[in-house]
Structure 1
């Protein structure tokens, strides 16, 4: 059953509910070479000095960023290794996991180096390393661990005869993919009795809105915008 059908069947509007984080243990997928390893290579290159080292530092700073983009996307079930960098940035922006403006500066710098053969200057390389370091470290910090449970509950002023009073959405990663499992609960002590469940798979428009909402609540950043985005997305289903 699709999520909208599921909610309609239980007469529950997720977009009109109070929402809270419920904790979790969702971590990033391990890659053969980590973003931190590419970042360490970039910093080692920079310390050596000279034109060759600056070129290599720029290349490895971009690799650190792209590797971090891929690690985040793969962790959320996206086949990002097949995508170009703009598409990776677009999807992560939709998930609410990055602000793309600074990352584009480093990617553009690498593209200029490759296609126009312009050597990077010292200040530009320092800036690219700063951006790469900030992005990699902040992404890692968000996943210690990522809050993977969202709890939606009816306001206290709602109809006391409601058959379902709250919904819990848990984020899961399994060999078959990444998805939210959404559970509906009837009134009762603690969580009440579960009366149904459905899944929201990675790539679904509501999946992205839910990840964005979790990230905003975790960071306490642009929460109102994330809630508005969730409400509009839910209305479009």
Structure 2
């Protein structure tokens, strides 16, 4: 049963309720070489100085940033190793996960170096290091830990005759796949009772909207926009 059918079955409109974080401990998938390790190499190269070191620093800066893009995307179930950088950034934007426009400048610098044999400027490499550090550190901090549970509660539970008054959506990773499990609850005499569940798979339009909503609520950044994007995604179903 897909999420739209699930909500219709239980008479629950996810776009017409309050949303709150419910905690969680979802972490990033480990890579063989971490973005932090590439960033450290880039900083060591920069400190050594000289043309060869600056070239290596530029290379490792891009590896740190692209590695961080991949780590985020792989953590949420996307096969990003097969994607080019613009596609990686676009998907992270859809997920609301830290893809600032400045990243394009770093990628462009590496492309100029590789394809036009340009010599990297000391000031430009230093700026790229600052951008990479900000991106990698902020992405890591966001996952200590990532709040992976969303709770959807009717604004006015008495306004509907349907028994389900609350849904929870928890992010899961198992057997190489990532998905939300949505549970429906109805009030009981002593406690709520779970009356059904369904899954929202990675890549689904609502999956991306829910990750973005979690990130916005955690950071308290553009929450209204994330809520609006969620409503728009739900309306597409």
Bin for the TM-score computed over the shorter chain: over 0.9
User: Structure 2 vs 1, CA of residues 45 and 176 (structure 1 numbering), >3 Å: closer, same or farther?
Assistant: closer
Alpha carbons 2:77, 2:176 under 8 Å: kept: no
Secondary structure in 2 matching 1:228: helix
Report what 1:62 is aligned to.
62
Matches within 5 A, 1:103-122: 103-122=103-122
Secondary structure in 2 matching 1:18: strand
Alpha carbons 1:185, 1:191 under 8 Å: kept: no
Alpha carbons 1:182, 1:200 under 8 Å: kept: yes
User: Structure 2 vs 1, CA of residues 61 and 135 (structure 1 numbering), >3 Å: closer, same or farther?
Assistant: same
- Is 1:49 the counterpart of 2:40 in the alignment? no
After TM superposition, the score normalised by the length of structure 2 is: 0.97
> CA offsets, 1:29-49, max 9 Å, x none?
011100000000000000000
Q: Which structure 1 residue ranges, 4+ long, deviate > 4 Å from structure 2?
A: none
Matches within 5 A, 1:33-112: 33-112=33-112
Alpha carbons 1:183, 1:198 under 8 Å: kept: yes
Aligned pairs, number = 237
Which residues of structure 1 form unaligned runs of 5+? none
Alpha carbons 1:213, 1:230 under 8 Å: kept: yes
User: Structure 2 vs 1, CA of residues 144 and 161 (structure 1 numbering), >3 Å: closer, same or farther?
Assistant: same
Matches within 5 A, 1:207-222: 207-222=207-222
Question: CA shift at 1:159, angstroms?
Answer: 1.9
Distance 1:163 1:154 in 2: 11
> CA offsets, 1:188-218, max 9 Å, x none?
3786100000000000000000000000000
Distance 2:114 2:232 in 1: 41
Question: CA shift at 1:158, angstroms?
Answer: 4.2
Report what 2:140 is aligned to.
140
Report what 2:24 is aligned to.
24
> CA offsets, 1:9-35, max 9 Å, x none?
101000111000000010000111000
Secondary structure in 2 matching 1:15: coil
Which residues of structure 2 form unaligned runs of 5+? none
> CA offsets, 1:62-98, max 9 Å, x none?
0000000000000000000011111100101100002
Distance 2:235 2:101 in 1: 29
User: Structure 2 vs 1, CA of residues 124 and 191 (structure 1 numbering), >3 Å: closer, same or farther?
Assistant: farther
User: Structure 2 vs 1, CA of residues 142 and 80 (structure 1 numbering), >3 Å: closer, same or farther?
Assistant: same
- Is 1:206 the counterpart of 2:172 in the alignment? no
Report what 1:124 is aligned to.
124
Question: CA shift at 1:162, angstroms?
Answer: 2.6
Q: CA RMSD in A?
A: 1.2
Question: CA shift at 1:161, angstroms?
Answer: 3.1
Distance 1:20 1:190 in 2: 23
Distance 1:191 1:234 in 2: 29
After TM superposition, the score normalised by the length of structure 1 is: 0.97
Which stretch of the first structure deviates more once superposed, 151-160 or 123-132? 151-160
